[in-house]
Amino acid sequence: MSPHHRRTLVVAGHGMVGHRFVQAAIERGLTETHDLVVVGDEPRAAYDRVALTSFFQVGADELSFLPTGAYDDPRVRLLTGTEVEGFDPETRTVLLSGGDVIGYDELVLATGAAPFVPPIPGHDLPGCFVYRTIEDLEAIREAAATATVGAVIGGGLLGLEAANALAQLGLETHVVEMAPRLMAVQVDDAGGATLTRHIEQLGLTVHTGAATERVLGDDRVTGLALRGTDPIDAGIVVFSAGIRPRDRLACDAGLDLAERGGVLVDERCHTSAEHVWAIGECAAPSGRMYGLVAPGYAMAEVVVDALLGGPGSFTGADMSTKLKLMGVDVASFGDAHAATEGALELVFSDAVAGIYKKLVVSADGRQLLGGVLVGDASAYGVLRPMVASGIELPDNPEDLILPAGRGVPEIELPDEAQVCSCNDVSKADIVAAAAEGGTTRAGTTCGSCKVQTKKIIEDYYASQGKVVDRSICEHFPLTRQELFDVVAVHGHRSFDQIVEAHGTGRGCDICKPAIASILASQLNGHVLDGGNRTLQDTNDAYLANIQRNGTYSVVPRIPGGEITPDKLIVIGEVARDFDLYTKITGGQRIDLFGARMEQLPAIWRRLVDAGFESGHAYGKSLRTVKSCVGSTWCRYGVQDSTQLAIDLEQRYRGLRSPHKLKGGVSGCARECAEARGKDFGVIATENGWNLYVGGNGGATPAHAQLLAGDLDRGTLLRYLDRYLMYYIRTADRLQRTAPWIDSLDGGLDRVREVVVDDALGLGSELEAAMERHVDTYFDEWQATLDDPEKLARFVSFVNAPDTPDPHITFRAERDQIAPADSAGPVSLGATIPVGAPQ
């Protein structure tokens, strides 16, 4: 074989593990020598199955690992909606469902696992589902529209996830578990009982020790018959009774399988056939299958390593888990069931608070072997690495699980302690990355090690004698929050005052817009008032959004997305008369693109006369409050979401903030307004409104989390006022609400303390600040039109106000204008008259 021969590597399966394999292959250079063909049978590219339940809030796109549907590396070809029907190790070929046959040099099986459906009578009736793919969830959602009660068979990790999903869909939900407790694999009897109490408090019904004898119903599901007790009425049944490796391909090809299923592989994840490897849930290293994503990721890395000639091996995996199930912390790590000979158990249990913690320690009391945490898993970050690295326990190990405030001992983790088990990142890796200014994957998969990772990085900097410099820029030795306070305390009203008193130089494009925003939040003057104008980024300076050719887009406010036909016609007429490109945005508004700067006042005049206001699409300010049609039109709506969205958008319009702000209001739990993708999201319940905070789309999407539930309108407004003002006062420059909440000591709980419990006593002050904003609101477009001085700047050239900038040219695309590519500086030639100064 010539050294230039490129080899073909086929990956069968594109789930989380298959995707990680491809990622590692690209990152580590395997695609320099190999062409990858990745075959996935689902209709879409790999997505975050661990976060599957959030599909109902965020939709499929947000879960996707490959939103574009393709890898950046052209040497990787991804075939979705395609099955590998079989392969032949002799001829090294795979047969695809379309009939294509592909030759391979190496084959990696990453076909995962399938849900196990026990063969009880009625298991295949319509209304029976499994819980594995986005398509499963879509089917469940559809069925939930006409059902009122759902039952989940299986009280393990996935079963509880599925139950959570049914409850979110508004169903009365039952969990049926054959074992005497929930999560039997991970937790012990007492932990399971604590978990059951938590889940029952949320309104679900838990049946443990309950064997399902048959699924009831003639042509569709009507309920479950349980042995020795009354049947349950249910219109939906979800099976979550464990998984089985998808090893059929290997079986058909004559490969060795493990006794209990799964493709038998050695410690390099190589199967019994030459050039065939298996990773993830379809594989069984040393005969054991691993039903978690972290071991699958580790296997993916091992095979990439092997194909690069490296020494990697897979020698078992940490089966620790930490998760938040319906708001309840549950963690299990190491030898959770005290199976080690002579192991001792230390237990702390507070039935009132719903907290159960257990440590399993060695017979001599020196080593931590494992543990279970329910209700409060904050100690997980320290405890799990202690097990993995064998670090010796302190003299009073019970302190590790006693409630905070009893003097939890500081444990210094050894360098080799594995902090992130999903991505196998050690403390030493994190310290090394911090030293080099790089990053690791720690905290990016399940997130349970985030707090620990942050602490290690902070400790590292402290050990270097470094103070983390949070200065906003070279001109101010202050954070944005400190600047905000300085301005408030001293009552500064201009940039000049602030820079003279607290800064150096004349400012820059970082500090000037930040100070403009701070002044706007506190004084709510016009952004174009004297002295303010030169602080503004171009969008604020021209009250429109600059686009790639130097033109602007204009976005009138359409509160809640509701618009009359007359107003819709005005927008159309303006767009037609000024030849603007129009597009309906994701925020339920209409963007008008391609306006030259000198055209802006005339465009606003038409819009303002028709009753429109500025939509602040340009500002770091409130953009939109998206809504569904709510109870007025929707057959599912339980509240008038449109009215509330309009009211909220009107209330917070013009509010300047550290980053743009978006809101959403949904009229029922179906969440058509995608409110949980917003900085604040409101979802109607039968009893009022649930308030979610800290969501956003963008480059790092985040789901909003529940701050408070079943609020009446007055309380909702009060909490929102406080939340938004608290954010505006304390966030960093350009910090969105999700990372801001993460950055607070205590995170969401801290926000709740301040906003709901009013722990700082700031509530009325924050509300008053918002009231001032509401009272002083004015439309910036109208105010600009009314002021000749402000208008004077809206000219193409100071000495030729109406001569269009010759750089701006358009071409046609899909019957509208689009920016033409610039050909460099353009000269109008000497024939253009240059007027005398006015």
Residue 830 interacting with another protein (CB under 8 A): yes
Is the CB of 768 or the CB of 792 nearer to another protein? 792
Residue 583 interacting with another protein (CB under 8 A): no
Residue 513 interacting with another protein (CB under 8 A): yes
Residue 474 interacting with another protein (CB under 8 A): yes
Residue 447 interacting with another protein (CB under 8 A): no
Is the CB of 343 or the CB of 791 nearer to another protein? 791
Residue 803 interacting with another protein (CB under 8 A): yes
Q: Report the distance separating Cα 177 and Cα 160, nearest Å.
A: 10
User: Least distance to another protein from the beta carbon of 831, Å?
Assistant: 8
Q: Give the residue, chosen from 6, 506, 576, 583, that forms a contact with another protein under the rule CB under 8 A.
A: 506
Beta-carbon contacts of 669 under 8 Å, excluding residues fewer than 6 positions away, are: 168, 169, 170, 683, 685
Residue 396 interacting with another protein (CB under 8 A): no
Taking a C-beta distance cutoff of 8 angstroms, is the pair 488, 502 a contact? no
Nearest Cα neighbor of 349 from 139, 197, 148 is 197
Q: Give the residue, chosen from 428, 546, 629, 634, that forms a contact with another protein under the rule CB under 8 A.
A: 546
Q: Give the residue, chosen from 533, 567, 596, 750, that forms a contact with another protein under the rule CB under 8 A.
A: 533
Instruction: Tell me the window of 578-586, 612-620, 694-702, 824-832 that interacts with another protein (CB under 8 A).
Output: 824-832
Is the CB of 227 or the CB of 506 nearer to another protein? 506
Residue 475 interacting with another protein (CB under 8 A): yes
Residue 64 interacting with another protein (CB under 8 A): no
Query: Look-up: residue for tokens 């400012």?
Result: 507
Residue 788 interacting with another protein (CB under 8 A): no
User: Least distance to another protein from the beta carbon of 820, Å?
Assistant: 11
Q: Give the residue, chosen from 228, 465, 761, 824, that forms a contact with another protein under the rule CB under 8 A.
A: 824
User: Least distance to another protein from the beta carbon of 512, Å?
Assistant: 5
Q: Report the distance separating Cα 14 and Cα 34, nearest Å.
A: 18
User: Least distance to another protein from the beta carbon of 577, Å?
Assistant: 24
Q: Give the residue, chosen from 100, 138, 509, 786, that forms a contact with another protein under the rule CB under 8 A.
A: 509
Q: What does the DSSP assignment read for 146-173?
A: T-SEEEEE--SHHHHHHHHHHHHTT-EE
User: Least distance to another protein from the beta carbon of 737, Å?
Assistant: 24
Q: Give the residue, chosen from 418, 549, 614, 735, that forms a contact with another protein under the rule CB under 8 A.
A: 549
Q: What mask of x and - would describe binding to another protein in positions 591 to 620, judged by CB under 8 A?
A: ------x-----------------------
Q: Report the distance separating Cα 299 and Cα 720, nearest Å.
A: 46
User: Least distance to another protein from the beta carbon of 700, Å?
Assistant: 20
Instruction: Tell me the window of 245-253, 418-426, 771-779, 791-799 that interacts with another protein (CB under 8 A).
Output: 791-799
Residue 508 interacting with another protein (CB under 8 A): yes
Residue 542 interacting with another protein (CB under 8 A): yes
Query: Look-up: residue for tokens 């499929």?
Result: 60
Distance of CA 156 to the CA centre of its chain: 24
Q: Give the residue, chosen from 800, 810, 816, 818, that forms a contact with another protein under the rule CB under 8 A.
A: 800
Is the CB of 506 or the CB of 713 nearer to another protein? 506
Nearest Cα neighbor of 673 from 642, 647, 639 is 642
User: Least distance to another protein from the beta carbon of 600, Å?
Assistant: 12
Whether the CA torsion 727, 732, 733, 737 is positive or negative: it is negative
CA distances in angstroms from 124 to 137, 220, 246, listed in the order given: 17, 9, 20
Q: Report the distance separating Cα 369 and Cα 372, nearest Å.
A: 11
Instruction: Tell me the window of 18-26, 242-250, 478-486, 788-796 that interacts with another protein (CB under 8 A).
Output: 788-796
What is the helix (H) or strand (E) element at residue 720, kind and residue range? helix 713-730
Size of the site for another protein (CB under 8 A): 49
Number of other CB atoms surrounding residue 562 within 10 Å: 15
Q: Report the distance separating Cα 292 and Cα 183, nearest Å.
A: 14
The overall longest dimension of the chain from CA atoms, in Å, is 99
Residue 548 interacting with another protein (CB under 8 A): yes
User: Least distance to another protein from the beta carbon of 524, Å?
Assistant: 22
Is the CB of 70 or the CB of 832 nearer to another protein? 832
Query: Look-up: residue for tokens 């494009």?
Result: 509
Q: Report the distance separating Cα 169 and Cα 142, nearest Å.
A: 10
Q: Give the residue, chosen from 541, 628, 669, 731, that forms a contact with another protein under the rule CB under 8 A.
A: 541
Lookup: tokens for 419: 């902090």
Instruction: Tell me the window of 75-83, 423-431, 657-665, 799-807 that interacts with another protein (CB under 8 A).
Output: 799-807
Interface residues for another protein in 710-739 (CB under 8 A)? none
Q: Report the distance separating Cα 384 and Cα 426, nearest Å.
A: 12
Q: Report the distance separating Cα 616 and Cα 345, nearest Å.
A: 60
Is the CB of 470 or the CB of 506 nearer to another protein? 506
User: Least distance to another protein from the beta carbon of 486, Å?
Assistant: 19
Residue 544 interacting with another protein (CB under 8 A): no
Taking a C-beta distance cutoff of 8 angstroms, is the pair 510, 470 a contact? no
Q: Give the residue, chosen from 8, 313, 362, 796, that forms a contact with another protein under the rule CB under 8 A.
A: 796
Beta-carbon contacts of 208 under 8 Å, excluding residues fewer than 6 positions away, are: 155, 177, 179, 180, 181, 182, 192, 196
Is the CB of 34 or the CB of 616 nearer to another protein? 616
Residue 316 interacting with another protein (CB under 8 A): no
C-alpha R_g of the chain: 30
Instruction: Tell me the window of 33-41, 117-125, 352-360, 795-803 that interacts with another protein (CB under 8 A).
Output: 795-803
Residue 807 interacting with another protein (CB under 8 A): yes
Taking a C-beta distance cutoff of 8 angstroms, is the pair 596, 633 a contact? no
Is the CB of 618 or the CB of 680 nearer to another protein? 618
Residue 501 interacting with another protein (CB under 8 A): no
The interaxial angle of helices 480-490 and 495-502, nearest 10 deg, is 110
DSSP H helix total and E strand total for the chain: 24, 38
DSSP letter at 32 equals G
Nearest Cα neighbor of 666 from 707, 635, 630, 700 is 630
Q: Give the residue, chosen from 48, 537, 647, 742, that forms a contact with another protein under the rule CB under 8 A.
A: 537
Residue 802 interacting with another protein (CB under 8 A): no
CA distances in angstroms from 519 to 419, 492, 514, 614, 736, listed in the order given: 43, 8, 9, 20, 19
Residue 529 interacting with another protein (CB under 8 A): no
Strand, coil or helix: 818: strand
Is the CB of 346 or the CB of 473 nearer to another protein? 473
User: Least distance to another protein from the beta carbon of 836, Å?
Assistant: 7
Instruction: Tell me the window of 143-151, 211-219, 503-511, 757-765 that interacts with another protein (CB under 8 A).
Output: 503-511
Q: Report the distance separating Cα 238 and Cα 175, nearest Å.
A: 10
Amino acid at 505: G
User: Least distance to another protein from the beta carbon of 526, Å?
Assistant: 15
| Buried/exposed 636-648: b ≥16 CB within 10 Å, e otherwise | ebbbbbbbbbbbb
Strand, coil or helix: 294: helix
Is the CB of 778 or the CB of 797 nearer to another protein? 797
Is the CB of 351 or the CB of 508 nearer to another protein? 508
Which residues are at the interface with another protein (CB under 8 A)? 474-475, 505-509, 512-513, 533-538, 541-542, 546, 548-550, 597, 792-793, 796-800, 803, 805-808, 821-822, 824-832, 834, 836-838
